[in-house]
Amino acid sequence: MEYVDKEQEQVTKTLKGEKKKLSQMSFGQKLEYIWEYYKLHILVTLLIIGAITWGVHHALTYVQYKFYGMVINSSQYDEKVAKEMHDVLKMEKHDGFSLSGDFYTYDDVNMGGYGNKLDIYIMTGQLDFAFTDEVGVKYLVDMGVVRDLKTTAPDKLLDLWTSEGRLYNVDVTDDDGITGNYDVAVDITGTGIQEYFGLDEKMKYLMIADLSGSEEYLQNFYDLIYKIEKGE
């Protein structure tokens, strides 16, 4: 039997009156009555709860990538190490690290709908360091995105690399026609660096680009490289 509400307007309903009416209804009548008169209130409440839940979840879990590594002309690297790098580099909770492979200097294997995938990532600043072969070194040098290790690497690493003759040195002429000599990469052939990051033997060089400008994380990365070099 359908319950008949004798109050003429919803705005005249009182808590006492509602309790009395609900006490006179069957369970099914209660559900029908509540939905009929309070569905808007219920929907608004659910939306508010959903928005609050999403906001809290987002605040706790969002990630903004701040440091990027690439493996160029290879797809091989240790994914477990990549996942651990956030903590190894002592990154803030919501700062992210990305290490990606499958970037190639050869257009026939690297073209996407918007052009060369490697070029696109570089132009959007998603390169701080790279493991690559000699072809990749020359490609990045030609793009003008490589930092001179003499100006960015800490002295302890420069001294080590220099004493072992591992710096890759090139002459580069800038747009003004001025030629300079730069240490653009370090040879990591047969070192613990290759092993630590799970690289294949073709990945002979480490290069620094620092396009994100995350200097703190770059220095922490250098600290990691030094520890690996020293076998710590």
In this structure, the answer to whether residues 81 and 31 fall within a common structural domain is no
Question: Does 33 share its domain with 122?
Answer: no
Q: Are residues 84 and 54 in the same domain?
A: no
Taking only the tens place, the pLDDT of each residue in 32-50 is: 777 777 788 888 888 888 8
Mark which of 18, 36, 60 sits at the end of a domain: 60
Provide the domain count of the chain. 2
Structural domain boundaries, residue 55? 10-60
Q: Residue 143 domain-assigned?
A: yes
Q: Do strands 115-116 and 111-112 pair parallel, antiparallel, or not at all (unpaired)? A: antiparallel
- pTM of the complete model: 0.73
Note whether 206 and 163 are same-domain residues.
yes
Phi, psi of 96 (to 5 degrees): -115, 155
Point out the least confidently predicted range of 46-55, 57-66, 208-217. Answer: 57-66
pLDDT of residue 62: 67
CA atoms within 13 A on the CB side of 121: 27
Same-domain status, 149 and 201: yes
Q: What per-residue string of b and e applies to 128-159 under the rule 16 or more CB within 10 Å gives b? A: bbbbbbeebbebbbeeebbbebeebbeeebbe
Same domain, 98 and 187: yes
Based on the fold, state whether residues 98 and 154 are members of the same structural domain. yes
